[in-house]
């Protein structure tokens, strides 16, 4: 009952929109159960078959079918290959060199502390031990002159809070209940104190001043300034209360001090500065650096361990595990949603606050922006939870079929045990790249030039070195990013998209080659060759890295366009509130939706193209064309199998992601990340990064 080459079965290599490419089959030409059993293409992401007793559907060119059971099959994996898409591999390597150069510039010129602590009036970063003076352990910014803070909050006055005189302290000063206390400028000139002695005196050397300097201090021009307002550490900046202490104000007035302005303006101007989009983004980026242990554990180790454990359980307990997965999916979705509700302040009193240390009740609306972001995510998670419950109820009957499909998929795992171990290798590469990239990105974002602001307002203060009150060079400092630095940051972001997709592509193609070897061996492990995973990886790294670079480049371009569009939408947020602004919102949403569909399609084609590449070593474009043609010719089969075959494995991925997010929430809810120097402004970014 032999068949010649021309009579071989036809079919398709199919997949599910970027999650599960599949080897599919139909029962045609199968009078002798030819090709049974069929393995699933298993691995992260996992793969499932069409039918446990169907013939092979992809015949590599140049290979003939043999009669079932009459002898060993010829290898269908093409061994005689040539290097493909070399130009794109060279381009990828050159881009990687550029990432190293950009990161090196950031490491040399950046300081992530600028993203959080801010600058003093000398341009020093608070907490920097390399500044002048040495500000180690002095990482809280404090505005000395309350009148300047008040003035910067008036819409009729052009004075900016960034030009108000600020210094770095170890903690926020509190008014005394018995006497007038002072916070004095950094000791220099005639004040012969070290920074340690200055801190030990609670920053007060008023008694050491000359009569002229004391008179200047009573005029709020320094070098010492009265502590009249209670202040609270809000995101490493001292938030002044709206009204001064009655006792301190009385002592100040009786001593002949100048009039002090007060009111809600003082509170609002500081909160406005700390709640600006730029300040929030900087804090969120800095949160990734502060919560790096959470990212390592919950974004790396936990998902890897849980994924391997899940695959092992699927191998031996697929029936029971199916129902456990469904239950865990619903429970974990509910728990993650509940945590967002708690942190947003809708349930309980554990709302996220910007206050560091005690005294949260002294500051109202201190974390309005962070709380609003958490509320938005809480609403989204509520919708997700409802959808999960409804989908579970609707598709529960299909689970029986899905279990049968997955049982066949586990046979490949049993035949190639290294499939369970192999994901550790790309995980190590991915983790190493992410650690390096995040560190380089943090330093690069903070690598702007510290320059003095251009202000035309009076900010006169006493200069201890010059020995007089002067308004020369009294404007504040800020970190300014040049156009070249902005381009370098965008370059770094695109490199992140391209490299992560490249590593994923190499992983998928390697696993595809290993499972294809098992597939063509018809279940006979002796015909698979020695270490099929290693052999497949060798073929990928020797011949097909250029194709991986091209496929990942296409996805990275779409992801970068979507990122830039989202950044543009945030820039136009003010226009969205204006009349007719809803048109901008609708346009942005429509474009994002279209780009999302394009990205989904490209990933779908890519993953199936990688399977063709793993089998016959074609170039990316030819492989994508071949895979697309096979998919189009079997579109109904693709749709049917994807709904059933991917269900359990997709739910497993969601369960692992939600479990990692839950662990991240629990770690961030400890005292280490709620107080002190390791406090994160919001758990949102670290949790999302752990998914």
pLDDT at 362: 41
Nearest Cα residue to 221 out of 193, 189, 258, 255: 258
Give the pLDDT mean for 672-684: 72
| Residue 417 pLDDT level (bands cut at 50, 70, 90) | confident
Phi, psi of 648, rounded to the nearest 5 degrees = -65, -45
Higher pLDDT, 169 or 530: 169
| Range from 30-39, 70-79, 229-238, 646-655 carrying the lowest mean pLDDT | 30-39
Give the pLDDT mean for 513-529: 76
pLDDT of 679 higher than 80? no
pLDDT of 87 higher than 90? yes
pLDDT of 671 higher than 60? yes
pLDDT at 621: 93
Number of helices and strands in the chain (H, E) = 22, 12
pLDDT of 68 higher than 50? no
pLDDT of 98 higher than 90? yes
pLDDT at 370: 61
DSSP state of 542: I
pLDDT tens-digit profile of 119-129?
A: 888 888 888 88
Distance from C-alpha of 458 to C-alpha of 587, rounded to nearest angstrom: 46
Give the pLDDT mean for 89-99: 96
Contact in structure between 149 and 164 (CB atoms under 8 Å)? yes
Taking CA atoms, 690 is separated from 385, 682, 683, 685, in Å, by 19, 14, 11, 9
pLDDT at 492: 95
pLDDT at 544: 92
Distance from C-alpha of 188 to C-alpha of 195, rounded to nearest angstrom: 10
| Residue 187 pLDDT level (bands cut at 50, 70, 90) | very high
pLDDT of 516 higher than 70? yes
Distance from C-alpha of 505 to C-alpha of 501, rounded to nearest angstrom: 6
Average pLDDT score over the chain: 77
DSSP state of 474: -
pLDDT of 320 higher than 90? no
Give the pLDDT mean for 504-533: 81
| Residue 56 pLDDT level (bands cut at 50, 70, 90) | very low
DSSP state of 677: G
Give the pLDDT mean for 202-225: 90
Nearest Cα residue to 78 out of 56, 97, 62, 64: 62
Only one residue has tokens 């494995």, namely 649
pLDDT at 140: 87
The two tokens of residue 135 are 């500000």
Neighbouring CB atoms inside 10 A of 273's CB total 18
pTM of the shown model: 0.70
DSSP assignment string, 500-518: HHHHHHHHHHHHHHHHHHH
Share of the chain above pLDDT 70, in %: 77
pLDDT at 59: 37
pLDDT of 429 higher than 80? yes
pLDDT of 40 higher than 50? no
pLDDT tens-digit profile of 611-632?
A: 999 998 889 999 999 988 888 8
Distance from C-alpha of 502 to C-alpha of 653, rounded to nearest angstrom: 21
3-state secondary structure of 255: coil
Contact in structure between 261 and 240 (CB atoms under 8 Å)? no
| Residue 44 pLDDT level (bands cut at 50, 70, 90) | very low
């Amino acid at each position: 009952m032999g068949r010649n080459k021309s009579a071989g079965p036809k079919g398709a290599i199919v997949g599910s929109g970027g999650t599960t490419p599949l080897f599919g089959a139909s029962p045609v030409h199968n009078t002798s159960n030819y090709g049974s059993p069929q393995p699933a293409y298993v691995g992260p992401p996992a793969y499932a078959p069409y039918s446990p007793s169907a013939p092979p559907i992809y015949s590599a060119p140049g290979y003939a079918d043999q009669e079932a059971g009459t002898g060993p099959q010829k290898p269908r994996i093409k061994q005689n290959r040539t290097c493909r898409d070399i130009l794109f591999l060279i381009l990828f390597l050159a881009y990687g060199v550029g990432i190293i150069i950009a990161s090196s510039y950031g490491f040399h010129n950046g300081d992530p502390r600028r993203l959080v602590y801010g600058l003093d009036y000398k341009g020093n970063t608070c907490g920097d031990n390399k500044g002048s003076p040495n500000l180690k352990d002095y990482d809280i910014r404090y505005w000395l002159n309350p009148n300047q803070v008040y003035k910067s909050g008036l819409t009729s006055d052009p004075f900016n809070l960034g030009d108000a005189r600020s210094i770095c302290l170890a903690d926020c000063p509190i008014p005394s209940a018995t006497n007038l206390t002072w916070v004095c400028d950094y000791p220099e000139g005639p004040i012969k104190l070290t920074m340690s002695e200055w801190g030990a005196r609670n920053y007060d050397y008023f008694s050491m001043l000359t009569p002229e300097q004391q008179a200047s201090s009573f005029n709020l021009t320094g070098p010492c300034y009265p502590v009249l307002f209670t202040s609270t550490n809000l995101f490493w900046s001292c938030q002044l209360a709206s009204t001064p202490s009655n006792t301190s104000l009385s002592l100040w007035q009786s001593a002949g001090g100048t009039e002090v302005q007060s009111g809600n303006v003082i509170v609002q101007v500081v909160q406005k500065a700390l709640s600006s989009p730029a300040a929030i983004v900087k804090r969120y980026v800095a949160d990734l650096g502060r919560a790096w242990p959470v990212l390592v554990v919950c974004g790396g180790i936990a998902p890897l361990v849980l994924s391997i454990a899940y695959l092992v359980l699927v191998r031996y307990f697929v029936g029971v595990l199916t129902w456990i997965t469904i239950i865990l999916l619903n429970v974990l979705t509910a728990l993650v949603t509940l945590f967002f509700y708690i942190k947003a302040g809708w349930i309980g009193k554990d709302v996220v606050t910007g206050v560091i240390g005690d005294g949260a009740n002294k500051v109202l609306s201190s974390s309005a922006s962070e709380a609003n972001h958490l509320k938005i995510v809480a609403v989204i998670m509520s919708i997700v939870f409802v959808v999960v419950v409804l989908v579970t109820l609707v598709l529960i009957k299909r689970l029986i079929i899905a279990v049968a499909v997955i049982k066949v998929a586990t046979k490949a795992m049993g035949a190639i045990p290294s499939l369970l171990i192999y994901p550790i290798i790309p995980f190590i590469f991915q983790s190493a790249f992410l650690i390096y990239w995040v560190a380089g990105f943090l330093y690069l974002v903070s690598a702007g030039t510290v320059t003095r602001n251009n202000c035309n307002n009076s900010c006169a203060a006493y200069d201890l070195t010059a020995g007089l009150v002067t308004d020369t060079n009294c404007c504040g400092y800020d970190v300014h990013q040049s156009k070249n630095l902005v381009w370098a940051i965008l370059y770094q972001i695109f490199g992140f998209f391209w490299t992560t997709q490249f590593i994923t592509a190499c992983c998928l193609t390697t696993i595809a080659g290993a499972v294809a070897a098992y597939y063509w061996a018809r279940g006979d492990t002796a015909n698979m060759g020695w270490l099929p995973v290693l052999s497949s990886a060798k073929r990928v790294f020797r011949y097909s890295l250029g194709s991986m670079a091209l496929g990942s480049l296409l996805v990275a371009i779409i992801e970068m366009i979507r990122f830039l569009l989202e950044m543009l939408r945030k820039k136009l947020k003010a226009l969205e509130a204006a009349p007719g602004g809803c048109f901008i919102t609708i346009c942005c949403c429509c474009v994002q939706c279209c780009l999302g569909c394009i990205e989904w399609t490209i990933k779908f084609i890519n993953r199936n193209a990688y399977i063709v590449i793993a089998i016959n070593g074609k170039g990316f474009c030819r492989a994508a064309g071949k895979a697309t043609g096979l998919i189009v010719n079997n579109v109904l089969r693709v749709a049917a199998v994807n709904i059933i075959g991917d269900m359990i494995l997709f739910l497993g991925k969601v369960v692992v992601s939600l479990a990692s997010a839950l662990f991240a929430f629990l770690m961030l809810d400890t005292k280490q990340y709620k107080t002190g120097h390791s406090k994160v402004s919001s758990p949102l970014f670290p949790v999302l990064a752990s998914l």
